[in-house]
Amino acid sequence: MRIDQNLAFMLQFENVAWFEDGQVKILDRRIYPREISYVVCQSYEEVIKAIQDMVTQSGGPYSAAGMGMVLACFEAQDLSKEEMISWMETAAEKIANARPTTSTRMKKIVDDAVAIMKESVWSTNEELLEIMQQYAIDEATARYSSVKEVGSRLADLIPKDGVVMTQCFADAVIGFIIERLKETGNTGVSFITPETRPFLQGARLTASVIQDMGFEVHVITDNMPAYIMKEKKVDVVTSAADMITMDGYVVNKVGTMSLALLANYYGIPYYCTGTPNLKHETIETVKIEERDPSEVMELLGTKVTMEGVKAYYPAFDITPPSLVSGVVTNKGVYSAFDLKSYFN
């Protein structure tokens, strides 16, 4: 049984990124669920462009990288084995660097693909393609397995019929939380998700996953969490983390810090999900990316502000460990002040 089988439409492998018939199809998360449309890539270079253009995001680029390597292999059909390996090494190098911030993790995926190719014995191109496709699926399965552990542990922290507020889109985490809630019979749980402007991942992606998997979900705008936490009696606040530093700071989609502070004020636990990052001993070494401010002044491409008005667009914010009730990982739930234990 495939690990993604019971998950929402947009979390299933075929809808994240998938090689078939000599092309890679990537669900366009920029417009989902308004439209279900795929960007179809005829070359691994087009896969790179799709990743750069943010057709897919969160965990999506990792799947696209794996499938991009299958496509690279397909493109190399007429080459000799040696030429093919060299071609694949070039593809790996280029795909890994599609986006600078994720290159380390991307590199591991594409380099492993090349390694498996080198180790494998194949007599036909069909066999090789099958080997590469199986690797891409195995890689995604391994990623989902780890996320499933995280989701299960978080699900077990949610009280019976509790109300959960999430922040932004945590890719498969919400899917596996719900799978676990179903397993344990805690099906009365409901969700509330801020829309997370400017790209509305909360309203579009998180809410769609929850709705798709049959649980109740309410969307709110990003200025409503205070009222909603208190009046709708939220039990758990949670978010993923783009980075958890070893001194317990959570860097995540902008808005997380204020959810954590509000949760603290109202006596609600705030849990972040993810893995502490050994490369950042302290928050001091983390630089917060500020993106193109014009995106803040637009809604679905329409500019709404007067000429001359400026904007700020920090993509992330920083939540201090004192506001984090627990860091939920694949190995267990840790105190934000004791993250070294994760590596013991």
Q: Which residues bind a second copy (CB under 8 A)?
A: 33-34, 192, 194-198, 200, 203-204, 207-208, 210-212, 216-228, 231-232, 253-255, 257-258, 261-262, 265, 288, 293, 296-297, 299-300, 302-314, 316-318
Residue 268 beta carbon to a second copy: minimum distance, rounded to whole angstroms: 13
| Cβ at position 195, least distance to a second copy in Å | 7
Q: How far is the CB of 37 from a second copy (least distance, A)?
A: 15
Nearer to a second copy, 227 or 337 (CB): 227
Contacts of 86 (CB under 8 A, 6+ apart): none
Tokens of 215: 């649980």
Closest approach, Cβ 79 to a second copy, in A, equals 44
CB of 169 to a second copy, least distance (A): 13
Handedness of CA 137, 139, 140, 144 (dihedral sign): positive
Active site residues: 242
290 DSSP 8-state letter: B
Element (H, E) at 283: none
Determine the Cα–Cα distance for residues 239 and 170; give it in Å rounded to an integer.
7
297 residue type, one letter: M
Residue 27: both structure tokens together: 């669900």
Return the number of the residue (313 or 342) whose C-beta is nearest a second copy.
Answer: 313
Q: Which is nearer to a second copy, 119 or 231 (CB)?
A: 231
Shorter beta-carbon distance to a second copy: residue 39 or 207? 207
Q: Which is nearer to a second copy, 224 or 333 (CB)?
A: 224
**Contact (CB, 8 A) for 16 and 64:** yes
DSSP for residue 202? I
C-beta of residue 192 within 8 angstroms of C-beta of residue 160: no
Backbone angles phi, psi at 236, to 5 degrees: -145, 135
Distance, in Å, from the CA atom of 290 to the CA atom of 312, rounded to the nearest integer, reads 7
Task: Tell me whether residue 116 or residue 220 sits nearer to a second copy (CB atom).
Answer: 220
Contact 284, 262 (CB under 8 A): no
Determine how β-strand 190-194 pairs with β-strand 250-253: unpaired
47 vs 251 by CB, closer to a second copy:
251
Report residue 97: phi and psi, to 5°: -100, 20
Question: How near is the Cβ of 111 to a second copy at its closest, in Å?
Answer: 35
Handedness of CA 49, 52, 53, 54 (dihedral sign): positive
How far apart (Å, rounded) are the C-alpha atoms in residues 209 and 32?
11
Torsion over CA: 256, 258, 262, 264 (sign): positive
Q: Which of these, 320, 210, 208, lies nearest to 256 by C-alpha position?
A: 320
As a whole number of angstroms, the distance between CA 38 and CA 320 comes to 39
Write down the least CB distance from residue 49 to a second copy, Å.
25
